[in-house]
Amino acid sequence: MIRIFRFFAAVLLAVAMGLPAQAFETRAKSAFVMDMTTGTVLLSKNADQPLPPASMSKLMTLYVTFEAIRDGRLTLDERLPVSRHAMSYGGSTMFLDTTDRVRVEDLLRGIIVLSGNDACAVIAEALSPDGTEAGFARFMTQRARQMGMTNSTFTNSNGWPAAGHRMSMRDLALLSRRLIEDFPGFYPMFAETEYAFDGRAPQNVRNRNPLLGLGIGADGLKTGHTQEAGYGLTGSAKQGERRIVFVISGLETTRARAEEAESIVNWAFRQFVEKSIVSAGTEVARANVWMGDATSVGLTPAADVTTLVPVLGGDEMQAEVVYHGPLHAPISKGDELGELIFAPGELPETRVPLVAVRDVPRGGFMARLRTVSEHLLMRLRERSEGTL
């Protein structure tokens, strides 16, 4: 029988944690804020609910396109044709028509800066397994699942309102992080404030991201708006060595979106400081082992653990160590055996994998006899307690 063993490890985390941070009361219907540097989740509101993402879903089209360029399946100078289907899109566009053959680099800026629905469709048809935008959307859905975005389903390339086209705020944050980390060469495009393609659309040359140019470190990523989704923003900002990513959705006006986004950035950087929790290799707990040459094994994080804590703090933070047992030998050093769970202040909980600090080979006859005896005693004790 597998059991879940839980015990507290308070002595381990002697960091400033007395007073909780003032919770951020967002007006957004759904939101997710994460500190990329430490992985600390600062805010989560309906973050796993699949919702209409509007143009924020263009970030997935961009990720797949960047992968194609990296892998040599597409080049920045390649010119792609514009189909009637791509030209048929309304809303925010590059005003492309079927006489155009457009450079991939222009299409990328058309998506990032101008939010071009037509530009997305052009790239989608070029990269689609079957040459259609619908086929590209199915491919995006599969790729999203591979990346861990379990609450994302795409029916088109640009977020045009459609039944079943959904993403969660957590998925958008995960995608944003991957864009920043996997494609640093392309990421500066997201901070560009203007792009005038061929002079044909003077009414659509400015980036709609309201945070760019405010001097608060904002450098991406994508706005979105439809009647069903409301106004949203997937954003990122960097101040010093820290970077945050955040997603908000369901705001009622562009002004509300701008105010909420700026407030979130200021709150995230001003109300928290980074603290070291525990170093890799430091034993934080011991777990019982059966059938081994040792009766227990130490647990440690595989990497140094840091987190954000409220600026106004106290002395100590409680943490919980959880593992599924009994653990059976043999165990190899580095095997993932449990989790360290802690919540800085009133923030959502953080889970850190714990691994074995050493090998525990299978024991000899006496070790197996000891394990059998301990198991029998435990069963007898449980049976006795059950009769009380």
By annotation, the residues acting in catalysis are 55, 58, 115
Of 189, 305, 281, 277, whose CA–CA distance to 236 is shortest? 189
Residues across the chain: 388
Nearest-angstrom CA–CA distance, 380 and 386: 10
Which tokens go with 220? Answer: 């991406």
Say which amino acid occupies 140: M
Strands (E), the chain: 3-8, 30-35, 41-45, 79-81, 101-103, 218-226, 230-239, 242-251, 272-278, 285-290, 296-301, 305-310, 319-325, 327-328, 336-342, 350-356
**Going by DSSP bridges, is the β-strand pair 285-290/327-328 parallel, antiparallel, or unpaired?**
parallel
Is residue 132 packed enough to be buried (19+ CB in 10 Å), middle (13-18) or exposed (0-12)?
Answer: middle
Nearest-angstrom CA–CA distance, 290 and 330: 9
Say which amino acid occupies 138: R
Neighbour count for residue 109 (Cβ, 10 Å): 20
Nearest-angstrom CA–CA distance, 44 and 163: 25
Nearest-angstrom CA–CA distance, 14 and 342: 13
Say which amino acid occupies 50: P
Of 314, 359, 317, 352, whose CA–CA distance to 334 is shortest? 359
Are 42 and 268 in contact by the 8 Å Cβ rule? The answer is yes
